[in-house]
């Protein structure tokens, strides 16, 4: 028979409304148990206490397993027991008007099909169901993680067709579908996951969750250990073959990740060749996305193993034509795009891959991400954008604004070519445009490492296509400890420890504008330890900028042509070609302290007492590339007002 409700665990006695619902219960026996429970209730039942549930069912409608014992109810009957407390963080009693499963309704689906159930409350069991939602509803359990919906590898565990839906305190697992293994949402309304864990699900699109059109809110929840994959038998030789969104796939609509939520340890992988695998944690197209409030995208993977001619993109996030991604007080960390085996491999965006999208990072951390190719001996072997890879846009212009954020310890590694350990900015289609703004931010400890060509340990920027444009403007920012490394001594080429700029496309242009920036302690094995420019379509303009302590065989601080916009300090200008101004300080040691936490949101190089950079800026106020005053330094501390500021990102107080 269906289990009686654990009255003590719910912290209340059966109500009059519950009495009406008892007449709709699945069996008379269940109603009798409710009645007996009511006779033993006090006016104040006191705090919840442990209660053991025991149920037997043979009608084939209930498929529930004790979350404590693992016993499953099905057509042959069952014996289950589970302990609930109704106490603890995130716990709450069932509301008076809730429909109770399985004590009043044998299954979640039967409760959903009832016209009386706006709130469905689950006992702490494992429910082997493939649930379909067609109306406004809340499906919840008393405490987080105590009720599990198991899809049994027979489709999506939960499919939402219509309605505003709240899922709370649930575990959603073992779904297997073409899209949305755990949750598939087609609703144009809102879906909220609150204290929900989506894990162990598989699909081609959205291993954990597939969401389109409506509003998706992920609050204090975890999407983890899900997989997006495409089987070899599903390969279409005439069409595009993709698998996307190991954790989450979003199409149009909006997604908000908040309340410490995490998309972690999800994977996109396949055993078939010539594929495009995207978004280990999240793939989104045309979707508004907000990731904030201590949320994270961490430890997700796109993995290509022995697959010739395949492309892997976005270990953490992959974005296409996203009108707005805002990451604030949140993290994109430890994500990977990996490939082993055959040739013809292209890997892009360990932390994030973006094409024709608008991105904003505020007080964000992008760290520990990587793209890496191993054991590929022939053909194309390109790894780009260990932290971020940004592609240009045409109708949808691409833009990144990074404010008070850190991009650290990201890697691009390849036996062929590697570029942009921190950021790779590339326009690969004619007439595309890409703009990047770095404001009060730090790029530190990023690395591009290759056996052939390694370019741009911190930033790689290339207007590859004809008539395309890349513009990077950095203000009050620091690039330190980045490296372009050639693995094979005498055979590899490594250029641009901090920044590498090129414009190989006909009529293409790559522009760098540095205002009050510090580039220090970066390394390149060949040219341009700090800054390397290559090609006639490149313009690098320096204003009130400091280059010092960088290392390279040729041009330690800079290599190639640069433009002075006055008041720069370059400790070693031997590789630079420029018409320097009388206000520039060349061949001078600025007496920088090692990079450290000197206040503010990001790490900086302090100017030591007596530094030649102190009070050596413009005669009247520091300004950015537009001429607008820079009233503060990278840390947010005041610049000299009405007089000479200090050169670089740090203002000595």
Q: What is the pLDDT of residues 88-143, one digit of tens each?
A: 778 999 999 999 999 999 999 999 999 999 999 999 999 999 999 999 999 999 99
CA angle 143/144/150 to nearest 5° reads: 110
298 plus 161 within the same structural domain: yes
In a domain, 534, yes or no: no
Tell which of 322, 342, 362 closes a domain.
Answer: 342
Does 375 map to a domain? no
Closest CA to 448 of 378, 517, 511, 525: 525
3 and 37 housed in the same domain: yes
Q: Do 17 and 46 share a domain, yes or no?
A: yes
Provide the pLDDT for residue 430. 87
pLDDT, tens digit, 9 for 90 and up, residues 543-574: 999 999 999 999 999 999 999 999 999 999 99
**pLDDT per position as a tens digit, 570-586:** 999 999 999 999 999 99
Same domain, 95 and 161: no
Q: How confident is the model at residue 487 (pLDDT cuts 50, 70, 90)?
A: confident
Are residues 136 and 37 part of one domain? Answer: yes
In a domain, 209, yes or no: yes
- Residue owning tokens 């911190």: 458
For tokens 């040691």, what's the residue? 589
One DSSP character per residue, 181-220 reads SSEEE--SSEEEEES-EEES-EEEE-SSEEEESSEEEEES
Residues 188 and 279 in one domain: yes
- Antiparallel, parallel or unpaired: β 197-199 and 222-224: parallel
Both tokens of 444, joined, read: 């530190």
What is the average pLDDT across 502-531? 96
Asked whether residue 486 carries a pLDDT value surpassing 70, the answer given is yes
For the purposes of burial, counting CB atoms within 10 Å of the CB of 437, is it exposed (0-12), middle (13-18) or buried (19 or more)?
Answer: buried
Mean pLDDT (whole number) for 501-511:
92
Residues 129 and 216 in one domain: no
Residue from 610, 555, 548, 545 nearest 583 by CA = 545
A 10 A CB-CB count for 56 gives 14
Please choose, from the candidates 290, 298, 330, 259, the residue with its C-alpha nearest in 3D space to the C-alpha of residue 89: 259
Residue 470 has pLDDT above 90, yes or no: yes
Enumerate residues 6+ apart whose C-beta is below 8 A from 359.
319, 322, 325, 327, 352, 390, 399, 400, 401
pLDDT of residue 392: 86
Asked if residue 107 is part of any domain, the answer here is yes
Express each pLDDT in 148-175 by its tens digit: 999 999 999 999 999 999 999 999 999 9
- Boundary-marking domain end, from 310, 342, 374: 342
> Quick one: 331 and 281 in the same domain?
yes
User: Within a 13 Å sphere around the CA of 645, how many CA atoms are in the beta-carbon half?
Assistant: 34
473 falls within a domain:
no
Q: Is residue 329 part of a domain?
A: yes
Task: Count how many domains the chain has.
Answer: 2
Give the 3-state secondary structure of residue 21: helix
Cα dist from 223 to 206, 218, 487, whole Å: 11, 9, 38
What is the pLDDT confidence band of residue 20, given thresholds at 50, 70 and 90?
very low
> Are 197 and 315 part of one and the same domain?
yes
Q: Determine the average pLDDT of the residues in 470-490.
A: 95
For residue 220 the two structure tokens come to 């204090």
Residues 112 and 161 in one domain: no
Please tell me whether residues 146 and 162 are part of one structural domain: no
Tell me, yes or no, whether 99 and 211 share the same domain: no
Domain extent, residue 130, equals 1-150
Q: Which range among 64-73, 182-191, 232-241 shows the weakest confidence by mean pLDDT?
A: 64-73
Rounded to two decimals, the pTM is 0.88
Last residue of a domain, one of 342, 367, 397: 342
Residue 527 lies inside a defined structural domain of this protein: no
Residue 541 domain flag:
no
| Residues linked to residue 254 through DSSP beta bridges, in sequence order | 215, 288
Q: How confident is the model at residue 239 (pLDDT cuts 50, 70, 90)?
A: low
Task: Quote the pLDDT of residue 86.
Answer: 52
């Amino acid at each position: 028979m269906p289990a009686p409700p654990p009255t003590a665990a719910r912290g209340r006695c059966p109500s009059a409304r519950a009495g009406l619902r008892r007449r709709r219960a699945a069996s008379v026996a269940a109603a009798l148990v409710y009645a007996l429970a009511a006779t033993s209730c006090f006016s104040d039942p006191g705090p919840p206490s442990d209660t053991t549930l025991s149920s037997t069912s043979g009608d084939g409608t209930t498929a529930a397993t004790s979350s404590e014992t693992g016993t499953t109810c099905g057509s042959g009957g069952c014996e289950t027991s589970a302990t609930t407390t109704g106490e603890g963080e995130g716990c709450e009693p069932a509301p008076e008007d809730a429909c109770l499963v399985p004590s009043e309704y044998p299954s979640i689906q039967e409760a959903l099909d009832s016209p009386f159930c706006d709130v469905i409350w689950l006992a702490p069991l494992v429910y082997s169901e493939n649930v379909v939602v067609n109306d406004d509803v809340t499906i919840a359990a008393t405490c987080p993680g105590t009720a599990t919906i198991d899809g049994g590898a027979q489709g999506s565990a939960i499919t939402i067709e219509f309605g505003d839906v709240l899922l709370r305190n649930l575990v959603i697992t073992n779904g297997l579908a073409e899209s949305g293994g755990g949750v598939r949402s087609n609703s144009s309304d809102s879906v909220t996951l609150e204290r929900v864990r989506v894990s162990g699900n598989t699909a081609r699109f959205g291993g954990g969750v597939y969401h389109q059109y409506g509003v998706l809110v992920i609050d204090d929840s975890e999407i983890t250990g899900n997989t997006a994959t495409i089987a070899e038998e599903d390969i279409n030789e005439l069409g595009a073959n993709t698998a996307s969104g190991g954790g989450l796939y979003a199409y149009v609509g909006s997604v908000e990740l908040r309340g410490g939520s995490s998309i972690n340890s999800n994977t996109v992988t396949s055993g078939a060749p010539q594929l495009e695998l995207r978004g280990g944690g999240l793939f989104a197209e045309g979707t508004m996305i907000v990731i904030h409030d201590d949320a994270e995208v961490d430890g997700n993977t796109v993995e290509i193993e022995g697959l010739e001619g395949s492309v892997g993109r976005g270990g953490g996030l992959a974005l296409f034509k996203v009108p707005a991604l805002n990451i604030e007080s949140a993290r994109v960390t430890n994500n990977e795009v990996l490939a082993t085996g055959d040739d013809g491999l292209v890997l892009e965006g360990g932390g994030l891959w973006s094409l024709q999208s608008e991105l904003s990072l505020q007080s964000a951390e992008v760290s520990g991400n990587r793209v890496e190719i191993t054991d590929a001996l022939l053909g194309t072997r390109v790894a780009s954008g260990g932290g971020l890879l940004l592609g240009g846009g045409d109708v949808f212009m691409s833009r990144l604004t990074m404010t008070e954020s850190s991009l650290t310890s990201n890697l691009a590694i390849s036996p062929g070519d590697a570029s942009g350990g921190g950021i790779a900015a590339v326009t690969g289609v004619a007439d595309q445009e890409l703009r990047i703004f770095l404001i009060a931010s730090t790029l530190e400890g990023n690395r591009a490492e290759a056996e052939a060509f390694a370019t741009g340990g911190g930033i790689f920027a290339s207007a590859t296509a004809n008539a395309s444009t890349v513009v990077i403007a950095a203000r009050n920012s620091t690039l330190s400890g980045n490296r372009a490394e050639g693995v094979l001594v005498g055979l590899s080429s490594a250029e641009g420890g901090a920044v590498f700029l090129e414009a190989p496309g006909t009529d293409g242009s790559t522009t760098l504008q540095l205002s009050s920036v510090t580039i220090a302690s970066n390394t390149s094995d060949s040219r341009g330890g700090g800054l390397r420019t290559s090609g006639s379509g490149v313009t690098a303009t320096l204003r009130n900028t400091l280059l010092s302590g960088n290392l390279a065989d040729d041009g330690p601080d800079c290599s190639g042509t640069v433009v002075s916009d006055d008041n720069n300090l370059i400790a070693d200008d031997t590789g630079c070609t420029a018409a320097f101004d009388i206000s520039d300080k060349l061949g001078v040691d600025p007496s920088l302290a090692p990079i450290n936490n000197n206040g503010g949101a990001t790490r900086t190089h302090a100017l030591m007492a007596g530094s030649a950079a102190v009070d050596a800026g413009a005669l009247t106020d520091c300004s950015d590339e537009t001429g607008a005053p820079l009233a503060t330094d990278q840390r947010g501390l005041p610049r000299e007002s009405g007089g000479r500021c200090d050169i670089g990102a740090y203002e000595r107080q």
